[in-house]
Amino acid sequence: MKLSIGQVSKIFDISKDTLRYYDKIGILTPEVDKNNGYRYYLLKHLEKLGLILGIKYLGISLADIKKTIESEDVKEYKNLVIREEEIIKRKIKELEELQEIIHNSKEILDKIINFDNQYDFSKLKINDESFNLYGFDTKIVLNSDLYKKDEVTIEKELVHLNEEPYIYIYNILENETIEEDETMAFIKENENNISLIQKYLKEEKVGFTRKM
């Protein structure tokens, strides 16, 4: 059985240029009819081409495939098969990890879609609370000698507060984007931080001067 380059191209669903390239680099060389110069493929070529395409699909380079085919050494084929197996295992692992990510994403989306708000805001209790807020310029305070000198002490005091130590100002832009004012921040006065606030109030240069 003799097959033309066009017939082989259709059987394996590859281009004629690919077959010509394989011929050029010597990985799959067809027979040549001495009478008319036409190239044709035999059954052995089809088997070889099937092997080449299968190995190439796994990411093994044509150079390695050619080296193995040219050697005609059973051990080289075995090594190639081992490499194929390792590649397949790695691809399976990657696909399993991807599947897990997709599964988790679906669960999160299902929770969002099926979310049922159980809170009864009609029973929400609102309490009036009076307290002092001290505003400060964060850039000035963080760059001040006072902060740099007592940074560790200050951080320890803030960590022991019972609530978020800072209050920031946010702007809503065009009813879409929330932007934080990185310059100004406020701190709520309570018994745990009054000494810290007083320390900064005495230093007018650090910007900790606004009381609300």
Provide the 8-state DSSP code for 180. Answer: E
At 22-64, the pLDDT tens digits run: 999 888 989 988 888 888 899 889 988 888 888 787 777 888 8
Contact (Cβ atoms closer than 8 angstroms) between residue 146 and residue 208: no
Q: Token pair for residue 71?
A: 């050697």
Residue 4 has pLDDT above 80, yes or no: yes
What radius of gyration, in Å, describes the C-alpha atoms of the chain? 37
Which residue did the predictor score with more confidence, 119 or 89?
89
Surface-to-core class of residue 98, CB atoms within 10 Å of its CB (0-12 exposed, 13-18 middle, 19+ buried): exposed
